[in-house]
Structure 1
Amino acid sequence: MKEVLSFLITNKVFYLATAGGDHPHVRPLGFVMDYNGKLAFSTSNQKDMYKQLVANPHVEICCVDAEFNTLRVRGKAVFCTTEETQRKALEVMPSLGNLYAVGDGKFEIFSLDNVQAVYQTISGEKRSLTV
């Protein structure tokens, strides 16, 4: 888990893919935190991303570092929104406070279950990471 979290944080922007109907949707994200030993992310329940996660919680994340090594993380989104998770997210990334507030009715937190993570070097070497 530490290696996956560190890769995502270090590289700042990663891309999360969801399915909406019969079309994939990919968007950049920059917030991730450890919540009870799981990768956790945020969104707004006003966004299409939230609606897509509710309809089909299976996601994949892709992140590339400066040397073009990649990390792919696959899992099932599980919403864990509480005042505690919202507070922790705001502590981890205070700039989220420009968009959300604890208990604002739109700030959602989700973690990933059934996670599979694969790190691949630019030369094609792959290894599974423990999450």
Structure 2
Amino acid sequence: MNEILAFLLENRIVYLATVDGNIPKVRPFGFVMEFEGKLYFSTSNQKSVYKQLKANPNFEVSIISKTGDWLRLQGKAVFNTTRKTRQAALDAVPAFSKMYSIDDAIFELFYIEDGVATFNDTKGSSRTVTL
């Protein structure tokens, strides 16, 4: 997981894909953290992405580096929003405190379960890593 997290943190903006019914939906996400051995993302329970992940937890993220190498990561979203996970997120990204608080009812965190990452490079090589 360290290699996956390092790639995500180095390149920051990931594109997270869900489905709404049978329509694909993709949007940028800027937050990722490791907490208790799991890879976490965050959202608001007021957003459509939250509702989509609750209806169908399968998702995929894609991210590209400045050199053109890219990563595709897929798995299932497991929501684990507690005071402990919220505090970890606020500690990881202090700017979050401008949007959320530890007791904020809309602040949600989820980790990836059964994650599979595929690293790809500009030469056409790829390799797969499981979380």
The TM-score bracket by the shorter chain reads: over 0.9
Counterpart contact for 2:114–2:130, Cα < 8 Å: no
**Offset of 1:96 from its aligned partner?**
1.2
| Secondary structure of the structure 1 residue equivalent to 2:104 | coil
Give, in whole Å, the separation in 2 of the partners of 1:18 and 1:35. Answer: 23
What does 1:24-63 align with in structure 2 at a 5 Å threshold? 24-63=24-63
Give, in whole Å, the separation in 1 of the partners of 2:124 and 2:75. Answer: 23
**Offset of 1:129 from its aligned partner?**
2.2
**TM-score of the superposition, structure 2-length normalised?**
0.97
Identity %: 45
Give per-residue Cα distances to partners, 1:78-126, cap 9 Å, x unaligned: 0000000000000001111111111110000000101000000011100
| Secondary structure of the structure 2 residue equivalent to 1:104 | coil
Runs of at least 5 residues in structure 1 that lack an aligned partner in the other structure = none
Which structure would you say has the larger RCO, counting Cα contacts within 8 Å and 6 or more residues apart? 1
| Of 55-64 and 94-103, the range deviating more from structure 2 | 94-103
Q: Which runs of 4+ in 1 moved over 4 A?
A: none
Aligned residues: 131
- Asked if 1:118 is matched to 2:108, the reply is no
Q: CA RMSD in A?
A: 0.7
Runs of at least 5 residues in structure 2 that lack an aligned partner in the other structure = none
